[in-house]
Amino acid sequence: MSEKEQDTWHLYILRCRDETLYTGITTDLTRRFEEHQSNSPKCAKYLRGRQPLTMIYHTEFSNKSLALKAELKVKKLTASQKKLLASGHLVINEIADTH
């Protein structure tokens, strides 16, 4: 794996069968989605039994620190705001800190 690939982090939002949303980060978007979708032991506990999943949003960051900061911001959003982010009507840089 190249140094560039190792440094790339992905923030993603999944929509569950019950219409709830799940936000996470990973270095390998395809592998992580497959783990969540398969209900494997590596699947996030929240997602167990909520398949099928749909990835409604993802974006890249150059390092884990930036991805974690963005994930915290996104997790503080309402479901409606997350849907705006997924549709391109809101960008992460515009999300104000709530503190």
Domain encompassing residue 63:
3-94
Give the CATH number for residue 17.
3.40.1440
In a domain, 51, yes or no: yes
In a domain, 37, yes or no: yes
* 46 vs 92: which has the higher pLDDT: 46
DSSP type of residue 36: H
In a domain, 74, yes or no: yes
The order of strands in the sheet holding 54-61 is 21-26, 9-15, 54-61
pLDDT of residue 94: 66
Percent of the chain topping pLDDT 90: 81
pLDDT of residue 99: 39
Q: What CA–CA distance (Å, rounded) separates 46 from 36?
A: 10
What average pLDDT does this structure show over 59-83? 95
- Let me know how long the chain is: 99
In a domain, 99, yes or no: no
In a domain, 70, yes or no: yes
In a domain, 56, yes or no: yes
Q: How confident is the model at residue 93 (pLDDT cuts 50, 70, 90)?
A: confident
Evaluate if residue 2 carries a pLDDT over 80: no
What average pLDDT does this structure show over 58-68? 95
pLDDT of residue 98: 41
* Number of domain units in the chain: 1
Q: Are 43 and 36 in contact (CB under 8 A)?
A: yes
